[in-house]
Structure 1
Amino acid sequence: MRNVRVVYRKYDGKLHWHQWMRYLGEDQYGVWLGAPAGAIAQRGDEPEITMPAACVQLFPRDKWFTASFNDVPQKTLIYCDVTTPVTFGDEEFTMVDLDLDVVKRRDGTFYVDDEDEFAEHQVKYGYPADVVRAAQASCDWLVAAVMTEEPFLTTYKKYLDQVR
């Protein structure tokens, strides 16, 4: 069993969310990692939190997002972070969180979160124009894809089964 440290940073390099997850495999959508209910995650140097449900994360190659798929009882089914493309290491995956989030709840409701933070951080961190364009394009694509395309419809379920 191979464990991978997942490290999200902010554009200024500051540590954001991080945790250890188990390597589950790779398919045409990217690399899949999973964590059982009770796994530990941490934002920056804040106190650790215990995850109430199993989850799997998708780390696509050369795409500007990552995606989390949560088991019950989480109200959020799918949570996509718009990020820089993932840097894949043997023991660590890293990426920069670019604020925008595309969220699908278990009840079917859907929204884009943190658009205000994305606007603020473009100024605060001086996001280059190409980063802004890529992040917005990824968000726009996710808005449609999360409701209509794989791996957001059923593909993730076989990976979630592995960590339940």
Structure 2
Amino acid sequence: MDFPKVGSNIEVQSYKHDGSLHRVWEETIILKGTTQEVIGGNDRILVQESDGRQWRTREPAICFFTAHQWFNVIGMIRDDGIYYYCNLGTPFTYDTEALKYIDYDLDIKVYPDMTYKLLDEDEFTLHKKQMNYPGEVEVILRKTVDELVSWISQKKGPFEPGFIEYWYERFLYHR
């Protein structure tokens, strides 16, 4: 797998279990790209939904993808603090077209005080039936929720104090 060069722009694509394109984020600047993780930054970028709707993100964000965990994390920098949006999905892949992963519906929103909320369990239940998620995927995702909650409580990885700020400074340099 070739990795994008630091400072280059990539597209991020999420898919659903059935292979359909779910969402596309245009113009994420690569701040770190290795076989283990990719960190990117963006600000007020265009997002395309599978139904054709488009919208712009509202604030600068740092995106954290790993090759081993079944989640990715977006740290959104707002006036009242850093909010995190954690997507449960497959580890990333990267090709010359985009960074890609399969989104499995469940999300965790983390507030600046590090409290959190599990989101979209109803969507997960519906899509699990509609797209016939294998039982092992559900087991992985339930364990991943626990792992992610552990990372949040331990302030590990992108939740570590200063992590988002450090990478945001790198983003401003490359912008």
Taking structure 2 as the reference length, the TM-score comes to 0.83
Match of 1:142 among 141, 148, 151: 148
2:140 counterpart of 1:156: no
Alignment-derived partner of residue 32 in structure 1: 39
Does the residue aligned with 1:57 lie in a helix, a strand or coil?
strand
Alignment-derived partner of residue 121 in structure 2: 115
Alignment-derived partner of residue 95 in structure 1: 101
The alpha-carbon deviation at position 157 of structure 1 amounts to: 2.2
Task: Assess, with a 3 A threshold, how the Cα gap between structure 1 residues 29 and 102 changes in structure 2: closer, same or farther.
Answer: farther
Match of 1:58 among 57, 64, 68: 64
Task: Assess, with a 3 A threshold, how the Cα gap between structure 1 residues 71 and 64 changes in structure 2: closer, same or farther.
Answer: same
What is the alpha-carbon distance in structure 1 between the residues aligned to residue 36 and residue 81 of structure 2? 24
For structure 1, list consecutive stretches of 5 or more residues without a partner in the other structure.
Answer: none
For structure 2, list consecutive stretches of 5 or more residues without a partner in the other structure.
Answer: 1-6
What is the alpha-carbon distance in structure 2 between the residues aligned to residue 52 and residue 102 of structure 1? 19
Asked whether the 8 Å contact 2:114–2:152 carries over to 1, the reply is: no
Does the residue aligned with 1:63 lie in a helix, a strand or coil?
coil
Q: How does 1:9-88 map to 2 (within 5 A)?
A: 9-20=15-26, 21-26=28-33, 30-36=37-43, 38-73=44-79, 77-88=83-94
Q: Which moved more, 1:14-23 or 1:77-86?
A: 14-23
The alpha-carbon deviation at position 116 of structure 1 amounts to: 1.7
Task: Assess, with a 3 A threshold, how the Cα gap between structure 1 residues 92 and 27 changes in structure 2: closer, same or farther.
Answer: closer
Asked whether the 8 Å contact 2:39–2:64 carries over to 1, the reply is: yes
The alpha-carbon deviation at position 22 of structure 1 amounts to: 0.7
Alignment-derived partner of residue 4 in structure 2: none
Asked whether the 8 Å contact 2:13–2:101 carries over to 1, the reply is: yes
Sequence identity percentage: 25
The alpha-carbon deviation at position 91 of structure 1 amounts to: 4.2
The alpha-carbon deviation at position 78 of structure 1 amounts to: 0.7
Asked whether the 8 Å contact 1:147–1:153 carries over to 2, the reply is: no
The alpha-carbon deviation at position 16 of structure 1 amounts to: 1.4
Taking structure 1 as the reference length, the TM-score comes to 0.88
Task: Assess, with a 3 A threshold, how the Cα gap between structure 1 residues 146 and 108 changes in structure 2: closer, same or farther.
Answer: closer
